[in-house]
Amino acid sequence: MEDFSTLKQPTGTWEASEEATDTPSLLVVILDANPASWYSLSKRIPVAKVLADINVFLNAHLAFHHDNRVAVLASQYNKVEYLYPKPETEETVPLLDPTKEANTYRKFREVDDFVLGGMRRLMNSTSSISKKTLMSGALSRALAYINQAQSQKYIRSRIVIFSLTGDVALQYIPTMNCIFCAQKKNIPISICNIAGGTLFLEQAADATGGIYLKVDNPKGLLQHLMMTLFPDQNLRKHLNTPNQANVDFRATCFCHKNVLDIGFVCSVCLSIYCEPRDFCSTCQTKFTSSTISKRKFS
């Protein structure tokens, strides 16, 4: 029996550290399903290849631990849908053809088929060219799903967003509310920006401790995903992740949409203006002092 004692790890260094504990984690993926953006991306690389890379990423997450969970949401310009998991009442059975690819692990098959079938269905369902996507709606539903999953037993969660379209200015306040909620619940939001550029999502990644990854060459998408976005919060400490040096937190004025360094803030409704004015256009309050009021501190 003495031979076996030398194989034991010294106590206190291995069991106590949190990274060693094998706990399951939940990954929620939000896919931007705006057909116009995918079409412009398809000129550089076929859509099927990008989706295949994303599928491999999802399967890898499921393979990492037996109890890992995944959820996929797709956001269009007028609706947000759960691609996986699907509630049982809808027509889910026909999507899984039991005769095809019977050798694949069932969980991988389900996720692959639902994601690919759902994306195909969503992109074929509309022909309108719109530059919008309902990112704030998808984020809020993802947070609700995580809240529900964590209600019985705590599970470590994170959100990964694949974004192709730019920001929608009207969604600023809802997006910020989602970011603050994720910050409070310790849910990092990581972004994989395949095309276009988003300012709100950069702020989201910075505020919640996630990674903002801008993919220049979509052909190497899978490598980017596996190296950077695949490890979760605990493993990230040991890796050299890309950091954002210059996140632009400056405000834009409400009247001209210029980016401001110094602005004038209405004390009632917090709207920002670039020059002093007599009354606020959002809340219609007349400003009493004609000179600029400076806040006095003790």
Partner 1 sequence: MSKVKKNYDSDKSESEDEQQNGRVSNKGRKHDDNEGYTWEGEYQRSWDIVQEDAEGSLIGVIAGLINAGKRKRLLRDTTPLRRGIIRHMVLVLDLSSAMEERDFHHKRFELQIKYAVEFVMEYFEQNPISQLSIIGVKDGIAQRISDLHGNPQSHIQKIKSLRDCNGNFSLQNALEMARASLSHIASHGTREVLIIFGSIFSSDPGDIFRTIDALVADQIRVRIVGLAAEVAICREICDRTNSASTNAYGVVLSEQHFHELLLESTIPPATDSSKTADSSLVMMGFPSKVVEQSPSLCTCHSLPSRGGFHCPRCKAKVCTLPIECPSCKLVLILSTHLARSYHHLFPLKNWIDLPWSAKPTSSHCFACQVPFPKASEMSNQEQMASSMRFECPSCKQHFCIDCDIFAHEQLHECFGCQCSGN
Question: Is 297 among the residues that bind partner 1 (CB under 8 A)?
Answer: yes
CB of 205 to partner 1, least distance (A): 13
Q: How far apart are CA 203 and CA 142, in angstroms?
A: 18
Q: Which of 140, 233, 234, 241 binds partner 1 (CB under 8 A)?
A: 140
Can you tell me which of 177, 233, 234, 241 binds partner 1, judged by CB under 8 A? 177
Binding test (CB under 8 A) with partner 1, winner from 145, 157, 161, 191: 145
Q: Which stretch binds partner 1 (CB under 8 A): 47-55, 62-70, 145-153, 157-165?
A: 145-153
Interacting residue with partner 1 among 60, 123, 155, 176 (CB under 8 A): 176
Q: How many CA atoms lie within 13 A of 11 on its CB side?
A: 1
Token pair of 82 as six digits: 């759960």
Q: How many residues does the chain have?
A: 298
Closest CA to 213 of 11, 222, 75: 222
Rounded to whole angstroms, how far apart are CA atoms 154 and 147?
10
For residues 60 and 107, the answer to whether their CB atoms sit within 8 Å is no
Task: Determine, following the binding rule CB under 8 A, whether residue 240 of this chain makes contact with partner 1.
Answer: no
Check residue 211 and give left, alpha or beta (phi > 0: left; psi -120 to 50: alpha): beta
Count of chain residues binding partner 1 (CB under 8 A): 70
Amino acid letter at 204? A
Closer residue to partner 1 in complex, CB, 195/207: 207
Residues in region 73-132 near partner 1 by CB under 8 A: 77-80, 82, 85, 87, 89
Tokens of 91: 């027509």
CB of 12 to partner 1, least distance (A): 30
The contacts of residue 155 (CB under 8 Å, 6+ apart) are 23, 24, 25, 26, 69, 149
Residues that bind partner 1 (CB under 8 A): 77-80, 82, 85, 87, 89, 134, 136-138, 140-141, 143-145, 147-148, 151, 171-174, 176-181, 184-185, 203, 207, 245-251, 260-270, 272-273, 276-277, 280, 283, 285-289, 292-298
